[in-house]
Every structure is written in C-alpha cells, then in structure tokens.
Amino acid sequence: MKKDILQAPFVKEMRAVTANMYRLGWDERNGGNISYLLDEAEVGQYLDLSHVLREIPTGFSAKPLVGKIFIVTGTGKYFKNVDGDPETNLGIIRIKEDGETAQLLWGYKDGGKFTSELPAHLMSHMARLSVDPANRVVMHSHPTNLLAMNYVHELDEAKFTHTLWEMCTECIVVFPDGVGVLPWMLCGTNEIGEATAQKMKEFRLVVWGMHGIYGAGKTMDETFGLIETVEKAAQIYMLTCNRPRVNTIRDEEMVRLAEFFGVKYRKDFLHL
C-alpha cells in the first residue's frame, strides 16, 4: 500500500512555499515557477514509478538528468491555487531515457503540463549539480522591490551585488557568491535557459533584467531564503536611493563579516 501523496513532505513543501510566495506578492497571476529534484526512493513510497500517466516533450535535451524525478509547478497555474488543488497545479515528472521527454507520474490532472520555463529550470539544475551535487531546488519569482531596482540601477552584476551587500549586514554572508545579472531576454526560450545556466555555474542567484530572479539551493528553505534576503536588500535600496546616504557598510567591514563567518566571497566585487 502506497502512502498518500498529499502527505509527502515534498508536496507539503511546495504547497507551503507557493502560498507564501503569493502572499508576499512575488508571484502574481501565473508568474513564477519552482522545480524540485526528488529522491527516487522517497517518491517510490507514494507512487508506482512504473505507472506513467502520459509523456510530454520538453523541447530540448537534458541527457544528464535522465531518470531524475522532479516536482514542478504547472504552466498557466497560479501559485495561490496550489495549496487548495495541488494535483491540478503541480506535477511529478521523470526525464525519459531519450533526455527529451518528461514522463508524468502524478499531477496536471486537468491535462496541463509543466511550466513553460522548464528548459531554463532543467538547464539550471544541470549547471548547479555540476558545481554542487547537493543543489536540488530552482525557484523563479518576481519580487517587487528587486524588480523595481532593475529600472533605476545599472544591470552590472558586480555593481548590483555590491549595492545589495551594502543594504544589510547579513547579505555578504547569505549570498557571498554575489548575484548574476542578465539583460532583458525573451522568456520561455532555450536561449534564456542557456544564459541562465551559464550564470548558475558561478551564482546561486541570477537576475533576469526587468523580469525577476532565479535562485538555486540545497533545500526549499535555503532557496527561498536567498531570494528573500535579496528582496529585503532591494527594498531598503528603493527606500533610500533618493535620499542622501549618511551611513553605509564599508567594504572593509564586509570583508570582516565574510571572514568572521568563514564564507568564500567575491573579492572582485569589492573596492579594496
């Protein structure tokens, strides 16, 4: 007898985090998407892994992820509806042997499919796994203050990161690897997925110019926390950017922070 899939920890996490992201205003309408690499043995406690509901082309080759199982938000689905109807708004997929097909194991019960940003997600998973095999989550959202910051700040990753680091004492400790930045690009394409994946080899956070942010991490909490911290820093920047700067966190103080907490930081993003 299989356990109730709705009681699976990974389903509960997806329900909770999507509701929270919607509540914070990060994911309006059907904006935003999440993919979460699952443990096959754990999924097997809830689903018959030999039973494939249907197959869906992914539109690109993800050979390094063959056999991997993900829970993914659906295309056109609203984060506000995930908690109330997870089986319609979420899906659990496995990458087939050809690397170009997703086998649906559960979800999308209205005939839907995974987010249109799946190529960008899977490319980012491949990039992050090559750097850190423990990375399992990719999260995309549209945080309000971060998005506003895109319009009034240079979209240069060294300058953008430095400004964010200045806003909160915790920033250089939470994201010492900085924030990657891409110019505006057409979303839902392999091109933006490839560009994001390239940045993900250096950064766990990638800003999509005038669009939103991608975050990657080991757990749902870590990934959410990365975006949450960037958004808080962007909020402080937007509250203060039109006022005279009386105080700031100096670069030498950032170095003291990073070294005290033992994090490897981007020294080239500081002015020392």
Up-side HSE of residue 195: CA atoms within 13 Å toward CB?
A: 18
Contacts of 39 (CB under 8 A, 6+ apart): none
Which residue in 123, 128, 133, 47 sits closest to 91, CA to CA?
Answer: 47
Calculate ∠ Cα 166-195-147, nearest 5°.
Answer: 40
Distance of CA 115 to the CA centre of its chain: 13
Judged by DSSP in three states, 245 sits in coil
Which tokens sit at 56?
A: 């869906």
* DSSP code at position 7: G
Is 253 marked active-site? no
Edge-to-edge strand ranges of the sheet holding 90-95: 54-57, 101-107, 90-95, 69-73, 33-38, 137-141, 212-217, 205-208, 180-182
Catalytic residue among 13, 100, 117, 170: 117
**How many C-beta atoms lie closer than 10 Å to residue 268's C-beta?**
8
Residue 165 · residue 249 · CB < 8 Å: yes
Which tokens sit at 154?
A: 């240079």
- Which residues are annotated as catalytic? 117
